[in-house]
Amino acid sequence: MEAVLEDLLTADASAGETTRPERLVEAMRYASLGGGKRLRPVLVLEAAALFGRTDDGAAVAGAALEFIHCYSLVHDDLPAMDDDDLRRGQPTVHKAFDEATAILAGDALLTLAFDVIADERVHADAAVRLRLSRELARAAGIGGMAGGQMLDLESEGRERSEAEIRTLQAMKTGALLRYACRAGAILADAREDDVERLTRFGEIIGLAFQLADDLLDVEATPEMTGKATGKDAEAGKATLVGLLGIEATRSEISRLLTEAQELLSPFGEKAQTLSALAAFIAHRNH
Amino acid sequence: MEAVLEDLLTADASAGETTRPERLVEAMRYASLGGGKRLRPVLVLEAAALFGRTDDGAAVAGAALEFIHCYSLVHDDLPAMDDDDLRRGQPTVHKAFDEATAILAGDALLTLAFDVIADERVHADAAVRLRLSRELARAAGIGGMAGGQMLDLESEGRERSEAEIRTLQAMKTGALLRYACRAGAILADAREDDVERLTRFGEIIGLAFQLADDLLDVEATPEMTGKATGKDAEAGKATLVGLLGIEATRSEISRLLTEAQELLSPFGEKAQTLSALAAFIAHRNH
């Protein structure tokens, strides 16, 4: 996965491009090659493998998704947004470079994703690549991730119902995880009912992911997560942990994990990595 | 054109979206429905009409391009970038809303463009829509518009050669104008040599556009342009007008206009609107 990301970011200017400014490439590399769990691309790879697709194409689609994820971190960290100085234990992009470069690096990563998802390696059929591209735009845009970040910013110091928080989280973090699982099935030519099954799996692990994240924000230290913690409470943001309590949150995570694993049962042994990923997401401590 | 933009921005959540947050929609509408010359969509429409395509499809593709243009204005106006308070005589998005909302509205407009360009109305063949989408990503991204803005920011207080300024301008403003003309030809199923002819036309009017813009920055008042002027000199930015002088710049604009109109000569009367647009771009005073 790292090699694919690295290749895409060090490529010379493509047809239709003039030149790739060095400082912007550096900031984009800093934003996307600095480690990270690569959870989204791995979900694409594993979902594709479930239906027998194991070549480079899934990694390229996963890279497009990772660029979207990385852009969102760069913009979310900006002073006008969550104002974070640390990410994965390192200075955030606007600290390591400057704010203008961080804004542009985010914009360029977001845009690059739509070049990458159109890559011939992703699927031989242009109609499938177009479907993946359009669904990616919807997962990442106003009715998905970007919209979720807007709702999250509006949550500061405001009461939110459980339903509102669930909507916000389904958009802010859920949409890309859902897309990852769905995209893997689509590019592997899975039947539509299997695409829907993987979509549901993605939604459930998205919920588990966010609950685990909220728990970490309450219970972990910055040393464990490599970023500031306790920020939700500090910002007066309502979370499900705050509404449900720690014990009920833990139970819900377990219930979701069981549901996710049941969805994979028809695939037997072939789904063991995907099942392990679901468990990792539910029980992670970093 | 306005109706198409309005429709796309007021649509309910599409398949794959959860909900579209009201404040974000408002900021996106503010950023894209506030007037503007609609130059890029009009170029798409006119280039398509040259090859007999006159239905809604070109307007939808033009809307995608306009969303990209509008996002770039929103982000370029941010305090960390060009720090502009006025745009088309109105408060910029971060002034009318706030910085976080402006960043997200830009992100969401950029992302929406890749949903819109995939719209079935743009072309019946998914492969053509995918080509338009991928070329849009390259025109707007690191090797195009976003990269050009990076080079422009790096120009402040630094000497630039004529070649460097031309590269910067070909990226920052040229890439989208080039794409507009090219996309119109592609979606109207023009032959590849005609696509290349329109591409060259787009490049030339891009050059003329930027030279006219530089002249305006030197000669116009904020009342004429609806935005701050004299900013290039104030920011210590090298421009071609600065290097070549006003008279030589005027001559080059005239020469470019002649070249642009010669490129259209094979189309005779059919190209009269496109030809008039080239003249408008070369001689505009706002």
Per-residue pLDDT of chain B (286 residues), as tens digits, is 889 999 999 999 999 999 999 999 999 999 999 778 899 999 999 999 999 999 999 999 999 999 999 999 999 999 999 999 999 889 999 999 999 999 999 999 999 999 999 999 999 999 999 999 999 999 999 999 999 999 999 988 888 899 999 999 999 999 999 999 999 999 999 999 999 999 999 999 999 999 998 898 888 666 666 666 666 666 667 788 988 999 999 999 999 999 999 999 999 999 999 999 999 999 876 5
- Nearest-neighbour CA in chain A from B100: distance (Å): 5
What's the whole-number mean pLDDT along residues A58-82?
Answer: 97
Whether residue A217 is predicted with pLDDT greater than 70 in this model: the reply is: yes
Predicted local confidence at residue B36, as pLDDT: 82
| Amino acid identity for residue B229 in this structure | T
Whether residue A236 is predicted with pLDDT greater than 90 in this model: the reply is: no
Chain B interface mutation, best of A20, A82, A142, highest count of B Cβ atoms under 10 Å: A142
Predicted local confidence at residue B16, as pLDDT: 93
- Nearest-neighbour CA in chain A from B220: distance (Å): 27
Q: For helices B175-187 and B192-219, give the axis angle rounded to 10 degrees.
A: 150
Predicted local confidence at residue A233, as pLDDT: 65
Cβ-defined contact of B147 to A19 (cutoff 8 Å)? yes
* The model's pTM: 0.95
Give the span between the Cα atoms of A128 and B43, in whole angstroms. Answer: 29
The more confidently predicted of residues B217 and A18 is A18
Predicted local confidence at residue B225, as pLDDT: 60
Cβ-defined contact of A167 to B19 (cutoff 8 Å)? yes
Give the span between the Cα atoms of B8 and B31, in whole angstroms. Answer: 14
**Quick one: CATH architecture of B2-283?**
Orthogonal Bundle (1.10)
Predicted local confidence at residue B227, as pLDDT: 60
Cβ-defined contact of A112 to B17 (cutoff 8 Å)? no
* 3-class secondary-structure state, position B148: helix
Whether residue A234 is predicted with pLDDT greater than 80 in this model: the reply is: no
Predicted local confidence at residue B221, as pLDDT: 63
Give the span between the Cα atoms of B172 and B237, in whole angstroms. Answer: 14
User: Which phi and psi (to 5°) does residue B86 adopt?
Assistant: -120, 145
| Amino acid identity for residue B138 in this structure | R
Cβ-defined contact of B141 to A115 (cutoff 8 Å)? yes
Question: A109-146, pLDDT tens digit by residue?
Answer: 999 999 999 999 999 999 999 999 999 999 999 999 99
Predicted local confidence at residue B226, as pLDDT: 60
Please give the span between the terminal C-alpha atoms of chain A, in angstroms, as a whole number: 21
- Nearest-neighbour CA in chain A from B68: distance (Å): 10
Mean pLDDT lowest among A65-74, A183-192, A195-204, B149-158: B149-158
- Tallying the residues shown for chain B, one arrives at 286
Cβ-defined contact of A138 to B108 (cutoff 8 Å)? no
Chain B interface mutation, best of A17, A18, A133, highest count of B Cβ atoms under 10 Å: A18
